[in-house]
Structure 1
Amino acid sequence: MKRCWIIIIVAVLTAAVLTVLMRSPADVCVPPEPVTVESPIVSLQPGPRAVADTDTAGAVQTTAPPPTDSDADAGPAPDRVTLTPVREYIVAFETAADLQVFVDRVGDTRAQVIGTLNMWHMVRVRSDFDTLDRLLEGLPVASRQRNHIVRVPAPQVDVPVGSQSAFGRRALLWLGADGDISTWGTGITVAVLDTATMDPQPSGAGTTVTRFDLVNEAEPDASSALVGHGTAVASLLVGHGERLQGISPAVHLLAIGVMDSTGVGDVFTVAEGIVLAVNQGADLINVSLGTDFDADVLRRAVTYAAEHDVLIIASTGNAAAGVVTYPARYETVLAVSAIGADGEHAGFANTGDAVDIAAPGLGVYAAWADDVVVSFSGTSTAVPFVTGTLAAMLSMDERMTADEARSILLEYADDNGFPGEDEVFGAGVLNVRRIMEREEPGIHDMSIASHYLATSHDDPETVTIVVSAQNRGTEPVATATLVVRVGEGERSYNFQDIAVGESVSRTLNVDATAANAAGDVEIWTKVIEHGRADSRPLDNERTSILRVTVPAPAVP
């Protein structure tokens, strides 16, 4: 009897194995991957086409999405572990012929070609891993990666109304971009890559906006917290009116939607957007988004822009991390961090050696969906101020290149934090007035640059503070004195021959007992240039309250 049962069991198992082996590869089950993000990445239709439209503000072009198959897959959900669209890959081939062979092979399989970038023999494909392996068999592949997610930097809890760190409507005045700036950006094309729900309002008669939608989201989520993100970014660049003023309102704007209404996209689409912007004649590309992944397609797009002398300006990210997101981390991209109106680093802004400059990013008034004005915070907020300044510079000198404008922008940034370039502020804080007045002689302006509290020191009973001043005028300074008061003690330090833009500093080792019961140390500084009247005396003094954390003594 036992022998009979053994024969039956063996027969059943053999039949099961044969059943699996006889199934076609496309029918083999692939374990489902976990899902994390509620909003799916919407399938793209390559090749947007622009059609003319007009409104009372001037010539406006909108984009008509190409027809789509109503039965098409709306797109996969992202993977929980890798944060990539499930079963979406980007494959680069050695030749155009290899790409065509692959596309032909896809045919009626479960795989789907979603888009191509023929210039790099690259394809965006939806497939499970095993099917993709079979489709690629025998084909030389230059690279194969998952189609990583990009997203708007995480929304920030806004600062209270009236806070000293909130800019409100004062950002342009704070930067020195006051007066008549209505012609800033004339003749310059700026691309803004952001949410496809972006609704930039032209700044005046004759201003043009060209719109492209690379997402074609069927039903945008009007309730999304990020539905107005692109509109806000664009308004800081080209806004015009009683409520809002953009920093370069006369630019020709390319509004390119690369993310859906929830602020989510993918690296392939962003790369498409960069290539599109370059091919449409952009001088500058504003990118307020990021990813943690160094994707081949994104790197190629950034290189393509640099090869065509197009400068990309990107946000560093809002994760309070010690590393900058891509594309801001690429060397040729200008990486922008955020500050408050008190000049201090916005705590959410990512830091790292890729940071180039900081700009207003806390509580800035901006346009939003449904024609409302909001208080907008984040590194996304800071980017258009830098982009707009560069556009203004280029519009004032047709011989200037984007790289030259970048160098000037960084050269005339206000030093902040630790003296010199650092991982928090990069070259410093954007100062539009200094840039615009850089060739005006006779400006004398010694300014307090920063009160920097060292994060660590060898002696737990000592607090290390670095105080610095900077020559922000247009003339060298022969002699200056820096006066420092900490608690009841006051000291003076003399400096000679301070070049334009140069910072001078002193390191103070303060007894930790100078801190009050809450751990605060009050420090006051003043800088005095001898023999000359200061052109801008309001920045000659500063008082700061530094929070000191002294390690507890070791228990014996």
Structure 2
Amino acid sequence: MHEKPRSPIVPALITLALIGFMAWTLVKHQRRAEGLAAAEKARTEATDDRAALTAAAQKARANALTAEARRLGAAAFKEQLAAHLDNDHVRRNEAVLAFKDAGALQRFLARAKDAGLTVMSSSEKLLSARVRYASLDGLASEITDNSSDYEEVGGNFIAEIPTVPETEARTARSQVPVRDNLLGAIGVAGADNSQWGRGVTIAVLDSGVAADATFGQRVRRLDAGHGVSIEAGEGHGTAVASLAAGAAADAPGVAPAADILSIRVTDSNGLGDLYTISEAIMQAVDSGAQIINVSLGSYGTSAVLLRAIEYAMQGGAVVVAAAGNDQAAQLMWPAAYSRVISVGATDAMQQQLIFSNSGAQLQITAPGYAILAAWADESRVGFTGTSASAPVVSGAIAALMSAYGGISAQEAWAILVAHVNDAGAEGRDDDYGAGVIDLGWALESNDPTRVDTAISSHYYNSKDGTVDVVVQNRSATAMSGMTLVVEVNGAVSNVALPWVDARATTVVKVPVPEGAETIVNTTLLNAGGVTDKNPANNHKASVVSLGGGE
């Protein structure tokens, strides 16, 4: 896995430490406001109340900053500033400054040197600056003297490649590796995908993409401040790119005809930061990328990152990001932003990987366990984690764009998320988002003859003491006359199912006897004369122990 174990309590500790400087009381307001700008059909009700910063919110944050600076006084203000800028979760001796308008930015740039600040980078499009300071005195004075120019002042949060816990740190749930069956795991086994992604550019914001036979000459590289070369032995970005667009038989990707835009955002220690990622998102959009993959992140965020994501959305692009591997009930940023396509991880059997982060913002899940991928020096590995799942979704969006012709990345995403396998509890849930990717179904969404009924999930409902059997109609039309054959510890019963609309589900609750291990086998029978496209998904078996799950 090439990655180190990480304590599941880390996100909780980071969450407590990374409160937005001088505007933390407005963060909840910001997240509730995000949904006002979205209006996307593909978004679920759970994320509709989060949206981009409104002008009113920006003004309120600037006013709060001004008021707080005046209230505290110079000494206390400097102490508060140090608490937020001097910790292990941000770049040391750096600050990220977000300004309320272009004039405020230009005024700051004119006086930065006199304040003892070194401007490492600035952006008119992001209305921001990344600065280094030798002493907090100059920075504190600059902010208190000109606080009305600022929307936000904060640290430059470190962004890390998600680590994968060692096997012994997980539960005993059996996890099934994907290996070289990636296409089969996303519902397109045996498909000729050689032209998928043609004309589409996928930006990979990561540790850099090395030259490899699986890419041919399709990789272009941009410098976002860390150069374009790869650290010796570092293969994370190469693995990510190969799953999205690899073409070789020993490192196959979803969309092997897509072009790759590699933007290295990590330093020599393998760490990135949110300001560099924000600038790289802007570079990717300006360089023509329609899909931007970010398989790293942070548990802190900033106004600058949100501005970059909004810029990408306004340019017609999508940002796809890994949810994180900390078994946390929250997502890393940028995945936590509702406008981002956040991706959790499943195994080859569409079971959520135990370490995959969950949360209301999770959009979709995809294979992410031991997938054959390219690595450094043209080697091959079994790649695991939400870092692997995100590029699978990026590749699927590219495949849909080329298959349907003329549709945008955002339109392709809307098709993909509308045709997912309903895993876990019925409907959208925090563990699977809308469901598990099914590219085969999405590619056939316009086929009026498609018939595919499926047992989508066995979900142990501890509240009701039942196994909820979720039956999903993945057909183009409504289905009737179906029967579910249920066998519980050898006892068989037949359940007549109601009419099920296209893309809809129905649930059969199977009581679980107390105090014993229960084996549940289910088989779905269609009405006579119906030919099911995928009869393999009409059977499912589960073993439930007392107090356990699927």
Residues 1:165 and 2:163 aligned together: no
Q: Structure 1 residues 123-132 or 439-448, which shifts more?
A: 439-448
Residues 1:542 and 2:540 aligned together: yes
The equivalent residue for 1:111 is 117
- C-alpha separation between the residues in 2 aligned to 1:467 and 1:441? 27
Task: Pick one of 100, 106, 109 that aligns with 1:94.
Answer: 100
TM-score normalised by the chain length of structure 1: 0.77
Q: Structure 1 residues 273-282 or 255-264, which shifts more?
A: 255-264
Post-superposition CA distance 1:114-166 (Å, at most 9, x none): 11112233110112432201233532222211111111112344799xx8610
SS in 2 for 1:478: coil
The equivalent residue for 1:181 is 193
* 1:89-488 superposed matches below 5 A: 89-107=95-113, 110-127=116-133, 128-139=135-146, 140-157=149-166, 165-177=176-188, 178-196=190-208, 198-201=209-212, 203=214, 207-216=217-226, 222=232, 227-456=234-463, 463-488=465-490
Contact 2:198-2:257 at 8 Å conserved across structures? yes
Contact 2:293-2:394 at 8 Å conserved across structures? yes
SS in 2 for 1:497: coil
Q: Which has the larger radius of gyration?
A: 1
Structure 1 residues 385 and 107: CA distance shift in structure 2, 3 A: same
Q: Which structure 1 residue ranges, 5 or more long, are not aligned?
A: 1-35, 37-77, 458-462, 551-556
The equivalent residue for 2:61 is none
- C-alpha separation between the residues in 2 aligned to 1:535 and 1:220? 45
Contact 1:203-1:250 at 8 Å conserved across structures? no
Residues 1:530 and 2:527 aligned together: yes
Count of aligned pairs between the two proteins? 457
- C-alpha separation between the residues in 2 aligned to 1:283 and 1:211? 16
SS in 2 for 1:201: coil
Contact 1:158-1:362 at 8 Å conserved across structures? no
Q: Which amino acid aligns with 1:192?
A: V
Contact 2:247-2:257 at 8 Å conserved across structures? no
Q: Structure 1 residues 235-244 or 486-495, which shifts more?
A: 486-495
- C-alpha separation between the residues in 2 aligned to 1:86 and 1:318? 25
The equivalent residue for 1:502 is 504
The equivalent residue for 2:51 is none
TM-score normalised by the chain length of structure 2: 0.78
Q: Which amino acid aligns with 1:418?
A: A
- C-alpha separation between the residues in 2 aligned to 1:403 and 1:242? 29
Structure 1 residues 335 and 148: CA distance shift in structure 2, 3 A: same
The equivalent residue for 1:85 is 91
Post-superposition CA distance 1:290-329 (Å, at most 9, x none): 1111311101111111111111111111000011111111
Post-superposition CA distance 1:193-226 (Å, at most 9, x none): 1113x21536566x53210132426997536xxx
Q: Which amino acid aligns with 2:186?
A: L
- C-alpha separation between the residues in 2 aligned to 1:373 and 1:144? 43
- C-alpha separation between the residues in 2 aligned to 1:220 and 1:412? 37
Q: Structure 1 residues 361-370 or 474-483, which shifts more?
A: 474-483
Contact 1:215-1:259 at 8 Å conserved across structures? no
SS in 2 for 1:317: coil
- C-alpha separation between the residues in 1 aligned to 2:533 and 2:405? 30
The equivalent residue for 1:511 is 513
- C-alpha separation between the residues in 2 aligned to 1:438 and 1:231? 32
Structure 1 residues 335 and 164: CA distance shift in structure 2, 3 A: closer
- C-alpha separation between the residues in 2 aligned to 1:168 and 1:219? 28
Contact 2:175-2:351 at 8 Å conserved across structures? no
Deviation at 1:512, TM superposition (A): 1.0
SS in 1 for 2:310: helix
SS in 1 for 2:252: coil
Structure 1 residues 414 and 191: CA distance shift in structure 2, 3 A: same
The equivalent residue for 2:72 is none
Contact 1:185-1:394 at 8 Å conserved across structures? yes
Deviation at 1:287, TM superposition (A): 1.0
% identical equivalent positions: 32
- C-alpha separation between the residues in 2 aligned to 1:204 and 1:168? 19
Flag the structure with more relative contact order, 1 or 2, with Cα contacts below 8 A and sequence separation at least 6: 2
Deviation at 1:528, TM superposition (A): 0.7
- C-alpha separation between the residues in 1 aligned to 2:259 and 2:229? 28
- C-alpha separation between the residues in 2 aligned to 1:363 and 1:218? 27
The equivalent residue for 2:57 is none
Deviation at 1:468, TM superposition (A): 1.3
**Root mean square deviation, CA, Å:** 2.5
